[in-house]
């Protein structure tokens, strides 16, 4: 249930839209420095958007999924790296609500708290008095340079039965940052590697993979809320789709802004705007984006409806939910590729946004949970009556 003073969806989208001019003006700095600048972080804090994923008992908004889709789409019209970081803070911040209330009392002392992390179990955890000793290295930690907390997943060293991953909530200050984020896309996400070296994690900041993926978590307060009964990956995949749509929308608007007065070199067309080829390209790209956005809204509405009715999620529904982000990503990437191809040689200049958008969106679609081919195969396998070949549902 949202906090009684939570802004409406329209107000949150408006707050996101007000960030767009700043984000566009800082795009070159963001790419060059491979992180977000201080003025952007300050503007995000002032916008109130970081409260969308904070539980209501800590003054947060507990925004619905449709709000996340539309807000992140708006932010991506400004800059994809910023939108990607915010999508991580939204997803991982929502995940944090699964931890025991004692841990939440620590995390949410800061009203602007940012949680980052990954769910890949690339560390180890050794049982010790009062908790665990964590060691390991985790890559692709988007947004961690501006986070206070991080979720690290590790395998228990002393498991006597089938090993179940442990999800550890750790202050970023306890980790070592390895500056290895030199990429062609989403450069500003600062998705560096983090390293834990004998980091003590108290018991109340550790939950199991079963707690995380199956049981609805360990928070007594949040367990009573229907939204926390939705499978984690259904919720977080739905949160993520907005950034993809917003990037594609930005590409279309940027293309149309540059169109007037541009000739088609080495043709008889004095204006690209008059060429039938341009009409076909713009029309196809626009339809792909419209379809992706409609699918995202249907996905969000499906989650809202099932949550309101208190319905459980079958395996087939989880599979069908996971494919949504892959198919939306494919539609958005295809739209941007069409527009980039139509943008001409001048578009490769750094101050023209289309190729940056294309690189950023390409990078986003390579995310292991987003990759279209993997998700479509998983869906097709389900339709053929076979069991899923992934536990990440």
59 assigned to some structural domain? yes
Same-domain status, 266 and 296: yes
Q: Rounded distance, CA 203 to CA 211, Å? A: 14
pLDDT digits (tens, 9 = 90+) for 234-252: 999 999 999 999 999 999 9
162 and 259 co-located in one domain: no
Which of 80, 96, 113 is the last residue in one of the domains? 113
Domain match, 109 and 151 both: no
Let me know whether 269 and 357 are in one domain: yes
Q: What's the CA angle centered on 242, arms 57 and 316, to 5 degrees?
A: 85
**292-313 pLDDT per residue, tens:** 999 999 999 999 999 999 999 9
Secondary structure element (H or E) that encloses residue 342, with its range: helix 315-342
CATH code, domain carrying 56? 1.10.540.10
Give yes or no: residues 250 and 275 share one domain. yes
Q: Are residues 253 and 336 in the same domain?
A: yes
Contact 200, 168 (CB under 8 A): no
Same domain, 124 and 74: no
The whole domain housing 378 covers: 230-383
Evaluate whether residue 58 is within a structural domain: yes
254 & 367 share domain? yes
Contacts of 311 (CB under 8 A, 6+ apart): none
Q: How many CB atoms lie within 10 A of CB 389?
A: 10
Q: Is residue 389 part of a domain?
A: no
Domain boundary among 69, 90, 113: 113
Which CATH number does the domain housing residue 190 bear? 2.40.110.10
Question: Are residues 142 and 109 part of one domain?
Answer: no
Does any domain span residue 222?
no
Q: Which residue has the tokens 């008059």?
A: 274
Distance, in Å, from the CA atom of 233 to the CA atom of 243, rounded to the nearest integer, reads 17
Strand ranges inside the chain, DSSP E: 115-117, 123-128, 131-141, 149-156, 166-171, 176-178, 192-202, 206-208
Side-chain-facing half-sphere of 186: CA atoms under 13 Å: 27
CATH number assigned to the domain comprising residue 332: 1.20.140.10
Q: Angle 315-342/353-365 helices, nearest 10 degrees?
A: 160
* Tens digit of each residue's pLDDT, the chain (393 residues): 455 678 999 999 999 999 999 999 999 999 999 999 999 999 999 999 999 999 999 999 999 999 999 999 999 999 999 999 999 999 999 999 999 999 999 999 998 999 999 999 999 999 999 999 999 999 999 999 999 999 999 999 987 777 899 999 999 999 999 999 999 999 999 999 999 999 999 999 999 999 998 877 899 999 999 999 999 999 999 999 999 999 999 999 999 999 988 888 888 888 899 999 999 999 999 999 999 999 999 999 999 999 999 999 999 999 999 999 999 999 999 999 999 999 988 889 888 899 999 999 999 999 999 999 999 999 999 999 999 998 888
In-domain check, residue 218: no
Q: Which domain-ending residue is among 208, 243, 264? A: 208
Domain assignment present for residue 391? The answer is no
Contact 342, 278 (CB under 8 A): yes
**Do 250 and 354 fall into the same domain?**
yes
The rounded distance, in Å, linking the Cα atoms of 219 and 31 is: 39
- Cα–Cα dist 335/74, whole Å: 17
d(CA 346, CA 336): 16
Same domain? 275 vs 378: yes
Question: Is residue 393 situated within a structural domain?
Answer: no
Number of independent structural domains in the chain: 3
One domain for residues 277 and 378: yes
Residue 329 counted as domain residue: yes
The pTM assigned to this predicted structure is: 0.95
């Amino acid at each position: 249930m949202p906090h009684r003073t939570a802004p409406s969806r329209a107000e949150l989208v408006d707050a996101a839209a007000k960030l767009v001019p700043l984000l566009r003006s800082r795009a070159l700095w963001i790419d060059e420095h491979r992180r977000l600048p201080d003025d952007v972080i300050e503007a995000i804090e002032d916008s109130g958007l970081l409260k969308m994923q904070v539980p209501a008992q800590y003054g947060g908004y507990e925004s619905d999924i449709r709000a996340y889709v539309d807000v992140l789409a708006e932010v991506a019209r400004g800059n994809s790296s910023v939108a990607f970081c915010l999508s991580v803070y939204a997803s991982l911040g929502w995940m944090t609500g699964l931890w025991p209330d004692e841990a939440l009392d620590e995390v949410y002392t800061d009203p602007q708290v940012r949680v980052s992390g990954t769910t890949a179990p690339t560390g180890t955890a050794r049982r010790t008095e009062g908790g665990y000793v964590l060691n390991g290295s985790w890559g692709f930690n988007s947004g961690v340079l501006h986070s206070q907390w991080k979720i690290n997943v590790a395998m228990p060293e002393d498991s006597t039965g089938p090993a179940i991953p442990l999800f550890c909530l750790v202050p970023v200050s306890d980790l070592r940052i390895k500056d290895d984020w030199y990429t062609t896309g989403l450069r500003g996400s600062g998705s560096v590697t983090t390293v834990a070296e004998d980091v003590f994690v108290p018991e109340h900041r550790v939950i199991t993979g079963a707690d995380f993926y199956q049981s609805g978590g360990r928070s007594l307060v949040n367990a009573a809320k229907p939204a926390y009964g939705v499978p984690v990956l259904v919720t977080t995949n739905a949160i993520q789709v907005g950034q993809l749509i917003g990037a594609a929308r930005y590409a279309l608007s940027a293309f149309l802004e540059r169109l007037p007065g541009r000739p088609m070199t080495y043709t008889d067309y004095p204006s690209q705007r008059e060429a039938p080829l341009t009409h076909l390209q713009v029309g196809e790209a626009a339809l792909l984006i419209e379809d992706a956005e409609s699918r995202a809204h249907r996905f969000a509405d499906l989650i809202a409806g099932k949550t309101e009715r208190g319905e459980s999620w079958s395996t087939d529904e989880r599979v069908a939910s996971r494919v949504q982000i892959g198919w939306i990503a494919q539609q958005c990437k295809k739209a941007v590729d069409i527009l980039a191809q139509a943008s001409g040689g001048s578009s490769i200049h750094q101050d023209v946004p289309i190729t940056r958008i294309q690189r950023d969106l390409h990078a986003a679609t390579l995310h292991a949970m987003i990759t279209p081919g993997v998700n479509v195969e998983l869906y097709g396998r389900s339709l053929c009556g076979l069991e899923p070949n992934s536990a990440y549902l």
